[in-house]
Amino acid sequence: MYVVTLLADPKAPNLDRVTVEALRDAWGGGGVRWLNYGIAAEFPLQALPANRWEVWEGLQGIGIDSLIQPAEGRRKRMLLADMDSTMIQQECIDELADVAGVGARVKEITARAMNGELDFEGALTERVGLLKGLPETVIRQVIDERLTFMPGGAELLRTMKANGAYCALVSGGFTAFTGYVAQALGFDENRANVLLIEDGRLTGVPSRPILGREAKVQAFHEISARLGLRPEEVMAVGDGANDLGMLHLAGAGVALHAKPAVAAQCDIRINHGDLTALLYMQGYAAEDFS
């Protein structure tokens, strides 16, 4: 048994009864359950439809995300989340570079690395090198003036934790930012790279070892083993190529507003919804949110 979930952008709640019921009827699904009218609905399905991706493409054209999961075990006991462009709306290293006057160059490298065109470790080393000499006070400046949270993140953390889930933030970014984000949103732990500072200025050299794709996979295994959780009990979310390892390991690996090359390798793709989509896909209705 499977469950089909249909999701709209909460800022443009255009999911209507006709669309949901037409798809349900075409696929021979069961009764529709509205999780939040205009934004999220679901229905059960006996088997995976052969045209699921053609339907997905068509719904994308009208601003609707669709996903299909096994009905059993949808509610996850752990959330493993990327930070940049996932829990927050920025890439922290790009914001630091913008302040340093090398924003365009660093943004280009970031985009290529997140799309899987560049080796993550080499790309990070090059970008950090361009920040050499920046005063450490710029970190607080970026936090105060530039960082904004992805909509739905606070509800996601509160609701999953209220239902017993463990939440870990694992980033290829920097602890100077993950510490702030983790505390603000309520993550149980956070892992990231360290920006090295000497005499109040960034050294331009990243700490070793660099936390990239394999370190996220390692975190997945270490934390789930420590908690006694099976991979299928974990939800992972990210947007970049360095997230693919953990996304493929998780019972639910969510490509959130991901780079095209990343989304193409994932079965769960959220392009229009916000982070509350991760609650709806677990079967939480809006009134269940904490």
Look at 211 and 258; give whichever has higher pLDDT. Answer: 258
Residue 37 and residue 56: Cα distance in Å, rounded? Answer: 20
Reported pTM: 0.92
Name which of 13-17, 45-49, 132-136, 221-225 the model is least confident about: 132-136
Q: pLDDT digit string (tens) for 238-277?
A: 998 889 999 999 999 999 999 888 899 999 999 999 999 9
Task: Find the CATH number of the domain harbouring 14.
Answer: 3.30.70
Look at 56 and 215; give whichever has higher pLDDT. Answer: 56
Q: Is 262 among the domain residues?
A: no
Q: Is 39 among the domain residues?
A: yes
Is-catalytic flag, 84? Answer: yes
Neighbours of 117 (CB within 10 A): 13
Domain around 49: 1-72
For residue 105, give both structure tokens: 């160059």
pLDDT for 258 equals 93
Is-catalytic flag, 82? Answer: yes
Q: Is 41 among the domain residues?
A: yes
Q: Is 4 among the domain residues?
A: yes
Q: Is 18 among the domain residues?
A: yes
Residue 129 and residue 132: Cα distance in Å, rounded? Answer: 6
Q: Is 140 among the domain residues?
A: no
pLDDT for 220 equals 96
Q: Is 258 among the domain residues?
A: no
Residue 34 and residue 249: Cα distance in Å, rounded? Answer: 30
Please compute, for residue 180, the number of CA atoms within 13 A of its CA located in the half-sphere on the CB side.
16
What is the number of structural domains in the chain? 1
Q: Is 10 among the domain residues?
A: yes
Among the listed residues 9, 65, 84, 239, the single catalytic one is 84
Name which of 57-61, 125-129, 145-149, 194-198 the model is least confident about: 125-129
Average model confidence (pLDDT) across the chain: 93
Among the listed residues 9, 82, 94, 243, the single catalytic one is 82
